[in-house]
Amino acid sequence: MLAHLASKEGIVAVNNIMGRDDTIDYSVVPAAVFTSPEIASVGLREHQAAEKGISYRTGHFQFRALAKAHAMGEISGFIKIISEESSDRILGAHIIGPHASDLIHEAALAMKAGLTVKDIAGTIHAHPTLAEGLMEAAEDVHEEAIHVPKK
């Protein structure tokens, strides 16, 4: 069990006992493994999207292309975003690399809000930051990332 999920489940249980109609959207619960490098994910994996019959696209970005990762001396890892082909809604995100457990929340929030990869790609991200990698992965879904070799 994830401690952050258990905490939220407790809050939801109390809210429902008190007569409020509270629920949890289990499709957007982030998970993290605190190894070196860190691993984090939210939402669907590619094989899950395929099993559900969802047409999807993916965008990838390597940490080695991030100035901040070089400054930190931690250039191993990648970010992957999975989006629904027809709507561009984000179905999942997966990160292996420095601060993955912190970075995954942008994707979780975007999923919860029903945002698209174009919404993330169109948001200016500060430079140099690791968060730029999520923006670049979102741009890569439509082959618009400027720091990724063309496919």
pLDDT in tens, 133-146: 999 999 999 999 98
Residue 134 lies in a domain: yes
Note whether residue 120 is domain-resident.
yes
pTM of the model: 0.91
Q: Is residue 147 part of a domain?
A: no
Burial class (CB in 10 A: 0-12, 13-18, 19+), 3: exposed
Residue 149 resides in a domain = no
**Domain-located, residue 60:** yes
The per-residue pLDDT for 151 is: 58
Alpha carbon distances (Å) from 67 to 75, 90, 94, 117, 136: 9, 26, 20, 22, 13
Residue 85, pLDDT > 60, answer: yes
51 contacts: CB under 8 Å, gap ≥ 6: none
Does 21 map to a domain? no
Residue 147 has pLDDT above 90, yes or no: no
87-128 tens-digit pLDDT: 999 999 999 999 999 999 999 999 999 999 999 999 999 999
Domain of 39, CATH number, reads: 3.30.390.30
Number of compact structural domains in the chain: 1
pLDDT, one tens digit per residue, over 1-44 is 588 888 988 898 999 999 999 998 889 999 999 999 999 999 99
In a domain, 11, yes or no: no
Question: In whole angstroms, what is the distance from residue 125 CA to residue 8 CA?
Answer: 29
Average pLDDT, the chain: 94
Active site residue 127: yes
5 occurs within a structural domain: no
Q: Which domain holds residue 69?
A: 27-140
Catalytic residue among 4, 125, 127, 147: 127
Query: How does residue 79 score in pLDDT terms, banded at 50, 70 and 90?
Result: very high
Two structure tokens written together for 150: 């063309």
